[in-house]
Chain A
Amino acid sequence: MSWSRIRGQDTATAFLRRSIAAGQVSHAYIFLGPDGAGKSTAGRIFAQALLCREGGEDPCGDCRDCRLMEAGSHPDFAVFAPRGKARLIKIEQIMELQRAVGLKSHRGGRKIFIVDEADSMNLEASNRFLKTLEEPPEGTVLILTTSRPERLPSTVTSRCLAVRFYPWSFDLMSGFLAERTGLPESSYPLVHRLAGGSPGRALVFDEDWARDWRAEILDYFSAGPPSAAREIVSATERWSGMIKRRMDDLSRQRKKDRREEFAQADPAVRDEIEKEDQAWLDSERRACLALIFEYILSWYRDLLLYRITEREEVVANRDRLDSIRKAARVSGLRRLREMLDHAQTAGRDLLNRNASLPIVLTSLLVRAGGENK
């Protein structure tokens, strides 16, 4: 592995390489930044460079330590990552980490441990982890990665040296999407924005359910949104159903993943687990709502921009160019502005005021259907 594998993170990689060259290696790091920015890979390369017998800032790739690192079987290196679809780091994993930290290194050099998505530790796990962070044995290097540092106790984050990784630029993201997904190029701007520059999050939009949702919503608007109450109610029901099915899937998976932990926990911890699960599901539900509204907004934004500029390259849903051209021709500028406003307000009401989905959606779709009366 070499540093060239990390894209678009020159500040972070330069810093890490400098600290190797200067021999100033901290006992604990926290790599902060969006999912998929290369935090974990950077941690592995950093670890390999620290363990390499050549001792340079670039791992030689050829010595016994480098070969074991590339095979993933180096005795002085381990990664602890969330398990299962529920993506949790359990106390058992932290106890295993503590045991490994407590052993002398295999070769007498450093021993390096990565805790991936460290914010997935539950309270019990992070309290236990804190003990290791407070007094790790000589030569230990702990690397935490997280895209959500606010979920970690400050007692943990404050003991680590922060290294920042940044959201990807649009160009970097486009290359990645072309390489790794089957998404149409026309959807790249939308995906880049929705994913907040995180390649990891961007991959979600290539999953079947997300593609289905997008098709369903854009089909609805492309066909000219209906004005009949029956059709509006049926669309509202369909879309609520999509969200419910996804939430049911996630919830079932989460329960399955935590069944064992739950069964072994004492009652107080069970409450804690249930609360955590609920909070996680709530945040996933909000993400689903945001996604639906982002698709609706993308439609009206495309119409408005195309109506004003008549240029194809401003359109985000480029695979729907024909329908957008047609719809833009028959819509008034003022009306498009109003609809965009309505859609934005509706989205805000849902996300920030916990308004009811069927009510907000119905009233928005009634307005959308208004032009086709």
Chain B
Amino acid sequence: MKLTFQKDSALQCLTPLQGVIGSKTMLPILSHLAFEVAGGEAWVIGSDLEMWIKCRFPAKTEGEGAITIPGRRFISIVRELPGQEGTIEVKEDGATVVKSMRSYFKMLGLAKDEFPGQPDLAQATETTISQKNLVELIRQTAYAAAQDESRYTLNGILISFSGGILTAVATDGRRLSMAQTDCEMPPDFKSDVILPLKTVAELDRVLKGEGEVKIKVGTHQVAFVTPSVQIFSRQIDGRFPSYQQVIPESSRIRIPVPREEFMASVKRVALLASENSPSVKLSFAAGRVEITTATPDVGEAREDLNIEYRGEDAEIAFNPHFINDVLKNLEEEEFTLELNDSDSPGVIRTNGKFLAIIMPIKLA
């Protein structure tokens, strides 16, 4: 088996794999990459037992076969190759030889048998979405997920398929974000998948293309497949908390707010908020909102903003970071802030495809 490749395109292919090579464990086989060559195509696979990343290796192939080679060393070798063209060849004794111009590297692989293969998703249901929409969905929700919660279902994003719509939800118990987008799927298909945050981060990094991505939904695994990269991930076990019931059915107060101006004001005022329990107070009155904070031993800050609001006066306080997390991942010029009273959660909505719920902080 022999592969002839171009350095630049090979490096580009190998980049996504760095996130899974030998990151989690000392197990030698997981520090290796597996090459599979068949039918004129070459694929390279890395795994940390939680995620499998499989990339099409751009190369002219001769023969077929499967090998493993030490991942980090291989990537470094490709990066440092003296020439633009290189070859990978498997010798009779099983060793792998990489050559380019006058450089020669011989590496020993491990038995391909020991490499944990990617999950079998032949029975999975296939859905299709644009890469851009999927990444947007992820960015609008991932920040609200818990990081190291013992309730492990919160350490991920719920991806819910139903009626041609893909809904993403994340919550850490103090806030919740939900975003929706159209997605091609079989008419009666309904499924809930909780994606680990690590997979979410990898998707955000890897899916940069303009094209579509197929999501293959299995019972234990899920795969994101583009013509050049496939990401297989395990799902988080368990049932995601039923989030619908925390979404307020109706709100007494609806306030249209200009997103960028408001975000900038909150950010400035928050400069004097307490570091341990940051809080900014929003005071709404006809035509304006006043944003304030006061921290004992530090000081106070105040800023006001004109808004198109004609309703009753209202006051509420939020963690400014939570407001910023939500708003910086939106693109709309304006959003609606919905309130009932200062003790009930605030809801941020845009065009109907996005909402965020933030628990208020008790007014001092």
Contacts and interface: CB of A to CB of B under 8 A. Distances in A.
B49 A102 contact: no
B220 interface: yes
A71 B47 CA distance: 15
Interface string B238-254: 10000000000000000
B116 A103 contact: no
Interface in A86-105: 95-96, 98-105
Given A67-B114, A102-B155, A106-B119, A75 B49 contact: yes
A72 B152 contact: no
Interface string B115-150: 110010000000000000000000000000000101
B152 A108 contact: no
Interface stretch (B89-97, B229-237, B282-290): B229-237
Contact of B236 (A72, A73, A102, A131): A102
A108 B237 contact: no
Contacts of B116: 68, 73-75, 106
B344 interface: no
Contacts of B152: 98-99, 101-102
Q: Which of B24, B150, B153 has the most CB of A within 10 A?
A: B150
A95 B148 contact: yes
Given A137-B237, A137-B238, A106 B220 contact: yes
Given A71-B29, A73-B30, A103 B50 contact: yes
Q: Which of B29, B119, B237 has the most CB of A within 10 A?
A: B237
Nearest to B49: A75
Contacts of B221: 104, 106
B243 to A, nearest CB: 18
B113 A104 contact: no
- Majority secondary structure of chain B interface residues (helix, strand, loop or mixed): loop
Interface in B22-56: 24-25, 27, 29-30, 49-50
Contacts of B220: 104-108
B114 to A, nearest CB: 4
B103 interface: no
Contact of B113 (A67, A98, A128, A131): A67
Given A102-B237, A104-B236, A137-B238, A131 B27 contact: no
Interface in B49-103: 49-50
B196 interface: yes
A132 B25 CA distance: 21
B150 A73 contact: no
Given A98-B150, A131-B150, A106 B114 contact: no
A104 B153 CA distance: 11
A131 B27 CA distance: 27
B219 interface: yes
B49 A104 contact: no
Nearest to A68: B116
A75 B234 CA distance: 10
Contacts of A104: 219-221, 234-237
Given A103-B50, A128-B150, A71 B114 contact: yes
A158 to B, nearest CB: 19
Contacts of A137: 237-238
A97 to B, nearest CB: 11
Contacts of A106: 49, 116, 119, 220-221, 234
Nearest to B52: A75
Contacts of B196: 99, 103
Given A73-B49, A132-B150, A103 B236 contact: yes
A52 to B, nearest CB: 16
B48 to A, nearest CB: 10
Q: Which of A71, A99, A102, A107 has the most CB of B within 10 A?
A: A102
Contacts of B155: 99, 102
B221 to A, nearest CB: 8
Interface in A105-138: 105-108, 128, 131-132, 137-138
B234 A71 contact: no
Contact of B238 (A78, A99, A102, A107): A102
10 contacts: A68-B116, A74-B116, A75-B116, A78-B25, A98-B152, A99-B155, A103-B235, A104-B236, A106-B116, A137-B237
Interface of B: 24-25, 27, 29-30, 49-50, 111, 113-116, 119, 148, 150, 152-153, 155, 196, 219-221, 234-238
Given A73-B116, A75-B234, A104-B219, 20 more contacts: A67-B114, A68-B116, A71-B111, A71-B114, A72-B27, A72-B29, A73-B115, A75-B50, A78-B25, A95-B148, A96-B24, A99-B152, A99-B155, A99-B196, A103-B196, A103-B234, A103-B235, A105-B237, A106-B116, A106-B119
Q: Which 8 A-B residue pairings sit nearest by Cβ, starting from the closest? A: A102-B152, A71-B114, A131-B150, A137-B237, A104-B220, A75-B49, A103-B234, A104-B237
